[in-house]
Structure 1
């Protein structure tokens, strides 16, 4: 029985890069002390997220880094033998992408550019165009960013590519248009948890969901980092506070148990599903 401890982080990050790197280093140390072999940090952990999702200020955007920027090497050095997923703004020529990278001290394991861009993100970022899984020391992993997990096809594509673990990196705020007095009553809070559990259960995989905390501009971030098992069961969570959700599990065994009788990926009927291409 090969068990692995997996950690999902809830924490606040902003424009102060040295602060961000210090916070990342502390979370990596805390995860290592907890015995974790994998840590999923939030979206935009390097440089922070947008301060206004509806009307982003072009003069106050997160800093953008090339895919091989030395700042990513600093995170890899801190990671050492741990698998670490972290979000940042990626520069590619004149384009900017909301991006995530998965790495260890030995180098880059995988990359993802956010495909689904909500609200005014389309005025700031270019959209990615692919979902792909990759091999890591803790199993085959795929990554989603924020709004990507709203669409079942995103996680399903990764699962069909063999992903056992899907890391969902978020800077997910409470509802902007219909604010609730308590985060526990917030519509986006409910959806954030619902999507995490549904994506895990429908694909019979492990979902590791990180998120930012605190407030930026007019947005309150939800936290609610968690590790979800392949039956859609929450194994560990942080609620709204900053911290680490750490769960120990045998990923392959948990997935095999979930798929012992009902094997969702094997029972798909793609010829029966109408898609936008066929309508």
Structure 2
């Protein structure tokens, strides 16, 4: 079957890819990398490609430092700010053409900065997700987003999350309830900075990264596409581990901790239909019993 669907929402069989790669501050180099990754993905008939968080301009080079983002180990300070309708994302749209891409960037909105993910096709920017959950002092550098919303694309209804968002079940559930059939979570997920493992495959934060991917896919019965930065940047070492996870929580393709692209050939409608045939988690919810409690555990 064709990898290019005839109508949005009914994509049929398609190839999806999740990227594990390193991206620094040089925007021209970033766009060159994106172009090369897209070209190779196109050769494989890929319809959806997820690139890492902050692939345009690089992530923070250290977490928990001063408000200006500087640190003795940092090659530079803060990522460059980009407009969602600016020339850089227009270049990404030109690269995308018939494909759907998800890319991470530091978004400018007036005097505010957001850690954002853009869903882009040849038609332009289809939607932007601003990272809601901010770990390890990230709020010193970025404002927080405040919405989870899916968008219609050529590969079906798609929602985006960023990194730490995946640790919160409500984030992915919000997208699933908004009709997302596929959730792309882009990341710059580092290895643990304490009790570090010599082998990244044994790193405890890497293990959490993988567990969250599989749990979020399974509990929402969606196709889950997880990209991540790889290598090192400043004082951070990233765990890679890009993957595609089916709605049963099964890993369909993975890169491991090295650079690469995890490709999977999927029929999203068939996968979701099979997973949801008997036990459909979204249908069987009991929201009348899910009460928000103001109490917080004492140790918090």
Question: d(CA) in 2 for partners of 1:108 and 1:75?
Answer: 9
Q: Is the 8 A contact 2:242 2:255 kept in 1?
A: yes
Q: How many angstroms does 1:178 deviate by?
A: 2.6
Moved more, 129-138 or 174-183: 174-183
Q: How many angstroms does 1:277 deviate by?
A: 5.8
2:43 matches 1:36: no
Question: d(CA) in 1 for partners of 2:69 and 2:210?
Answer: 31
2:62 matches 1:52: yes
2:20 matches 1:10: yes
- Identify the residue that residue 35 of structure 2 maps to in structure 1: 25
Q: Which runs of 4+ in 1 moved over 6 A?
A: none
Q: Is the 8 A contact 2:62 2:69 kept in 1?
A: no
2:187 matches 1:183: no
TM-score (norm 1): 0.97
Give 1:166's match in structure 2, choosing from 169, 173, 183: 183
1:145-179 Cα shifts (integer Å, max 9, x gaps): 01000000000000000000000000000011231
- Identify the residue that residue 234 of structure 1 maps to in structure 2: 251
Moved more, 101-110 or 134-143: 101-110
1:161-213 Cα shifts (integer Å, max 9, x gaps): 00000000000000112311211111110000000000000000000000000
Q: Structure 2 stretches of 5 or more lacking a match?
A: 2-11, 71-76
Correspondence 1:31-180 to 2 at 5 A? 31-55=41-65, 57-58=68-69, 60-180=77-197
Q: Is the 8 A contact 2:85 2:125 kept in 1?
A: no
RMSD, aligned CA? 1.3
Q: Is the 8 A contact 2:15 2:263 kept in 1?
A: yes
Question: d(CA) in 1 for partners of 2:198 and 2:261?
Answer: 25
Q: How many angstroms does 1:67 deviate by?
A: 1.6
Q: How many angstroms does 1:32 deviate by?
A: 0.7
Question: d(CA) in 1 for partners of 2:234 and 2:127?
Answer: 32
Q: How many angstroms does 1:21 deviate by?
A: 0.5
Q: Structure 1 stretches of 5 or more lacking a match?
A: none
2:220 matches 1:203: yes
1:27-68 Cα shifts (integer Å, max 9, x gaps): 101111111101000000000000101215435100011121
Moved more, 54-63 or 159-168: 54-63
Question: d(CA) in 2 for partners of 1:198 and 1:32?
Answer: 30
- Identify the residue that residue 7 of structure 2 maps to in structure 1: none
Matched residue of 1:58: which SS?
coil
Question: d(CA) in 2 for partners of 1:58 and 1:84?
Answer: 28
- Identify the residue that residue 249 of structure 1 maps to in structure 2: 266
1:227-264 Cα shifts (integer Å, max 9, x gaps): 00000000001001111100001001100000010000
Matched residue of 2:146: which SS?
coil
Give 1:220's match in structure 2, choosing from 232, 237, 244: 237
Question: d(CA) in 1 for partners of 2:295 and 2:287?
Answer: 12
TM-score (norm 2): 0.91
- Identify the residue that residue 8 of structure 2 maps to in structure 1: none
Question: d(CA) in 2 for partners of 1:135 and 1:178?
Answer: 43
Q: Which has the higher helix share?
A: 1
